Structure 1
Amino acid sequence: MPDNSAVQLAMSSSPAGVKLCTSVCLILVLLLQNTSAKPLLFSQNNSLNNSNPLGLNAQQGLVSSALKNRNYLRYFAKETEQFSKSRPIPDNTVAQYFSNDALGSGTLSFLSRLPVLHGLLVSAGCNICKILVTAIQQLFIAGKTQAEIVTAMTKLCITFHLQDKRVCADIVPEFKTEVLTVLDKLVLSSDEICGIALGPECGSPYNPFYEWNITLSDKHKPPVVPPTLPKTGSPTVRVLHLTDIHFDRLYKVGTNAVCGEPLCCREDDGKPAAGIPGAGKWGDYRKCDTPVWTLENLFQHLADKQNEFDYIVWTGDLPAHDVWKQTRSEQVSLLSFLSQLFDKYLPNKPVYPAIGNHESAPVNSFPPPFIKGNNSISWLYYPLANSWMKWLSPEAKATVQKGAFYTVSPFPGFRIVSLNTNYCNNQNWWLLLNVTDPAGQLKWLIDVLQAAEDKKEKVHILGHIPPGLSDCLKAWSWNYYKIVNRYESTIVAQFFGHTHFDHFEMFYDEVDFKRPVSVAYIAPSVTPFPELNLGYRIYDIDGNYTKSSWAVLDHVNYIMNLTEANLYNKPVWQLEYSVKAAYQMKSLFPSDWNDLIARMTKNSTLLQLVNKHYYKSRDDGSCDSDCKMKLLCELKSGRSHDPDLCTDVGITDARMFYSVMKRTTSC
């Protein structure tokens, strides 16, 4: 993703933007559901002065004080200058809009002093988040109802062009239940709430995000034996990796692909403007997902070459990016549709899935098991278990129904573990209620890995969100990193998706963070969103024989060049590259991937090639010094929120680190 600030991303017309926009807008709106005497966002004994860089005084009118702060106003004017020039708003619009609105006189006093509020929401960032959260206190004190607040915020969304009318009308109701239910039980400061919404560089989320630690087995870690390549002629297994399919049943050829919404190329987007090409036959680079017929074409292609792989891993994200208008029943029907495709085209191939962040409705909403009743996630996990059980062992059903994770042993001495990484997702608001090892998944993982170590099994781990992304909560990520360190001789490969790009993440020994211990493979997406070719991957793996290492030996990527497919009306799934050949790697052990990073620091041709493949050959991969630093940092970061992992590639402080890591988040 482009290297925008968090709030710029929040207000952009992308699914990631809609999700973060939802978080920010609902901070401004839906936290106000409680009409008791105690403000929801602020504890009675909490002073705002410590968390507010602008020096707000809670006893002297929070908003008025902020607006009289000349340093703040100079900062704000600078931040909004360019945006205000490009998107002027009529004089007095703010005052006219709110004068008779449910938001009340306190907010009118605040907003009428900000004729460039639309620019503020787009570019002001962390400080303004805290100002607006503070302003909510006045709305709350005014005793506005949920309905009034939701109506007002929908109007605000439309008036300030945060999204178009259709998205604004649907996005607040879509997320209302989740956010209200969660935040009704919390007391958070502005520093905490903005830290959650915009990241820890903005504020300090409350302690549970950072202070829990998982307990490892009391059995000692066995001595580490350096890996070796299998003997020539040893059996191999080939594995197809599909991820982030994001197929769109409503895609329509020729429609507007520049619709201004997070997802386009649909009939209700209308026709394109004069001189602008409409949505392509086989897909489109411009914020559009995978057409159904393109997905069918992929499965036909895979059926024709099914002798080239033995089983399939699918690491999540099936629905389209229309995250503002999804329903539970629609999400379940999509799972059924994909299952039917596998049955139709690849009936004899086992599939080992992992759940993505888009499988739920609303997106990213995955309540832990202690949430019961209508808010429970059983509406998804039970159909998921029914769909997956034809590929899994009977004992996997209980953990899928509980938390959408499981383990299975396809061959003797080999085990697959599939994790639900939505329990580390920083946009899963349910985790605010109890973030400590949700669903007991990491404790379960330790038990599975210890049993595998005792039986001398080798393990592959599947998941959706790579643990090194800033999307993954710090405590969960760091605990997972610790587990990988402890069981480095058992875990021989990890497979993730989510970013839509082609890359990897390194794990290092926690002693000094120099010795590489594991690598996470992050596969390219099927969907072309955003501005990518379509892709998939096949791994060569040390195969089924006694004392097999089950290590990854090579992988090859295939892409559909969307420009050529639409130009000639002929989709072709072509070999993009073999990783060993392209990067001149002798093997794919963690040390080899670490060596690749070292060679990229000195070899600009190699750096450009890796960057080209990162974007699935969408361009030539040109990579300047800023790009180089960002790419290398991403590859070195197997755990989130740790700037120290990147000091040797030019990262000098936390602000720079978070700017870097935003490139691969929230797809």
Structure 2
Amino acid sequence: MSGIIFFTLPQTVKQSPPQQDIDYIIYTGDSVAHDLWKLSREKNTKVINRIGALLKEYFPDTPIIGALGNHESFPRDSFPPPEDASINRKFSNLWLYNLMTDQWQSFLPNVNISTEARISGSYSVLIQPGFRIISLNTNFCYKFNWWVMYKSNDPGNELRWLVRELLKAEDKREYVHIVAHIAPLYADCYEQWRHQFSRIVSRFSGTIRGQFYGHSHMTEVLLNYDVNDPKRPVGVQYLTPSNTPYHRLNPSYTLFYVDGNHPDSTRAVLDSDTYFLNLTAANAHDDVTWHLLYSARRDLSLRTLEAPDWHDLVRRMNKDPELTRKFHAYAVKMSDVLKDDCDRSCRRLLVCNMAESDRFLPRKCKN
């Protein structure tokens, strides 16, 4: 299972809300496990429905925004381009898109999910006046989706559709959060697709106020830089941790605080708290207790969670090995096996990945 992300929309300052004050949840997909030898369309359907039922059981009155993971399809990682009629007739994922759309609509009974969901697994919803969330099927950029080799030019017409949605949002003066399973700047996404997404973020940086992804199983941050001014940070991609221990990790989830409902709201991310379950302690004491792993602004000394302040953290980490080790321990969710295992090469890779995931922009980490 990928990340479950909780959001609260305080109108002024950060507070620690009880469960009933969570405004909405983002579930970034991958309901289906890694036991590839057992998979079938029928099993995947059963598991997806079971996970959906559990989410609704424990959060019956909380809106949930879902995204499509790479494990949901059968065969796994198979996402053919639906715009190719001949391919779609033989290898269509229509069964999956209809299944997921029905589930997503049940999570959001008071809003209408856009029809694109049943075509390509992406959709756009107006959560509140002036605030829209776009869920992308980023499996169309995934390196293990072999259909990308068949059609590499905007598979699924995903980016074209995203630009149209952002243009409409801009025209209506809506702020947008983007959610998906695979982060566009993550290494599993093709470099060319990553760069085209960077161009979109650069163009709509005033409209896109948050990006939230899963897939990595760790807690990570990747930065978008302006393609026309590569030194200027314009976006933050939050890779939220998984609820499973895969692999050698602790289960975890993140609570984000977002600028809420008031006339001058920016829908900006104000802060985040990440919690984890220490499996070693839980097994030793037969006690399941979730602990705060870190609070972003406090524990990373961030003035805000805007892109320039994350960029400043990258610069500080580049000069401060202890700060980088600390960030690594957070990234691996305080794993007893991994938290202290980050040498000089590991620290350099951590810093460089945050700042130069778009390989088409000038390098920021010099040899």
Q: Same fold (TM over 0.5)?
A: yes
Q: Does 1:348 align with 2:61?
A: yes
Shift of 1:394: 6.1
Give the aligned partner of residue 480 of structure 1.
Answer: 197
2:15, 2:225 → 1: CA distance? 27
Maintained 8 Å contact 1:485/1:508: yes
Sort the Cα spacing of 1:418 and 1:238 in 2 relative to 1 into closer, same or farther, 3 A. farther
1:623 aligns with 2:336: no
Say whether 1:388 aligns with 2:114: no
- Contact 1:236/1:543, CA 8 A, preserved across alignment: no
Aligned partner of 2:74 among 338, 358, 361: 361
Residue 227 of structure 1: aligned partner: none
Identity among equivalent pairs (%)? 38
Q: Deviations over 1:203-224 (max 9, x none)?
A: xxxxxxxxxxxxxxxxxxxxxx
* Cα-to-partner distance string for 1:362-386 (whole Å, 9 max, x where unaligned): 2111112133335210121111111
Residue 391 of structure 1 deviates from its aligned partner by 3.0
Q: 1:384 to 1:519 in 2, by over 3 A?
A: same
Kindly state the Cα deviation for residue 388 of structure 1 after the two structures are TM-superposed: 1.1
8 Å CA contact retained: 1:613, 1:621:
no
Cα deviations across residues 18-73 of structure 1 (Å, max 9, x unaligned)?
Answer: xxxxxxxxxxxxxxxxxxxxxxxxxxxxxxxxxxxxxxxxxxxxxxxxxxxxxxxx
Residue 349 of structure 2 is aligned to residue 633 of structure 1: no
SS in structure 2 of the partner of residue 410 of structure 1: strand
Name 1:471's counterpart in structure 2.
188
Post-superposition CA distance 1:511-531 (Å, at most 9, x none): 231011010001111110110
Among candidates 264, 273, 293, match of residue 547 of structure 1:
264
Q: Which structure shows the bigger proportion of residues in strand conformation? A: 2
Matches within 5 A, 1:195-206: none
Q: Output the amino acid matched with 1:367.
A: P
- The letter for the 1-side match of 2:104 is W
3-state SS of paired residue (1:633): helix
After superposition, residues 198-597 of structure 1 pair within 5 angstroms as 234=12, 305-369=18-82, 370=84, 371-392=87-108, 395-597=112-314
The CA distance in 2 between the partners of 1:385 and 1:591, in whole Å, is 36
Determine helix, strand or coil for the equivalent of 2:258.
Answer: strand
- In terms of fraction of residues, the more helix-rich structure is 1
Q: Secondary structure of 1:356's partner?
A: coil
Contact 1:353/1:418, CA 8 A, preserved across alignment = yes
- Once residues 211 and 88 of structure 2 are traced to their aligned partners in structure 1, the CA distance between those partners, rounded to angstroms, is 32
Looking at structure 2, the residues matched to 237 and 511 of structure 1 have their Cα atoms a distance apart, in angstroms, of 38
Contact kept? 2:40, 2:75, Cα under 8 Å: yes
C-alpha distance after superposition, 1:240-279 (max 9, x if no partner): xxxxxxxxxxxxxxxxxxxxxxxxxxxxxxxxxxxxxxxx
The answer on whether the counterparts of 1:485 and 1:509 sit within 8 Å (CA) in structure 2 is: yes
Greater Rg over alpha carbons, structure = 1
State the alpha-carbon separation in 2 of the partners of residues 432 and 558 from structure 1: 39
Q: 1:315 and 1:366, CA in 2 relative to 1: closer, same or farther beyond 3 A?
A: same
Give how far 1:357 is off.
0.7
Give the AA of the match of 1:382: N
Where does the alignment leave 5 or more consecutive residues of structure 2 unmatched? 1-9
* Kept after mapping to 2: 8 A contact 1:404/1:419: yes
- Measured in 1, the distance between the counterparts of 2:149 and 2:365 equals 34
Alignment of 1:26-175 (within 5 A): none
What TM-score do the two structures reach when normalised by structure 1?
Answer: 0.51
Rounded Cα–Cα distance in structure 1 between residues aligned with 2:165 and 2:202: 15
Structure 1, unmatched stretches of 5+, are: 1-231, 240-304, 653-667
Separation in 2 of the partners of 1:583 and 1:390?
38
Aligned partners of 1:610 and 1:621 also within 8 Å: no
Backbone CA RMSD of aligned residues: 2.0
User: CA–CA distance in 1 between the matches of 2:321 and 2:133?
Assistant: 37
How has the CA–CA distance of structure 1 residues 559 and 379 changed in structure 2, closer, same or farther, with 3 Å as cutoff? same
CA deviation profile, 1:641-660 (whole Å, cap 9, x unmatched): 44x55x4434x4xxxxxxxx
Contact 2:219-2:330 within 8 A present in 1 as well: yes
The question of whether the paired residues in 1 share the 8 Å contact of 2:81 and 2:88 is answered with no
The structure 1 segments of at least 4 consecutive aligned residues displaced by more than 6 Å after TM superposition are 235-239
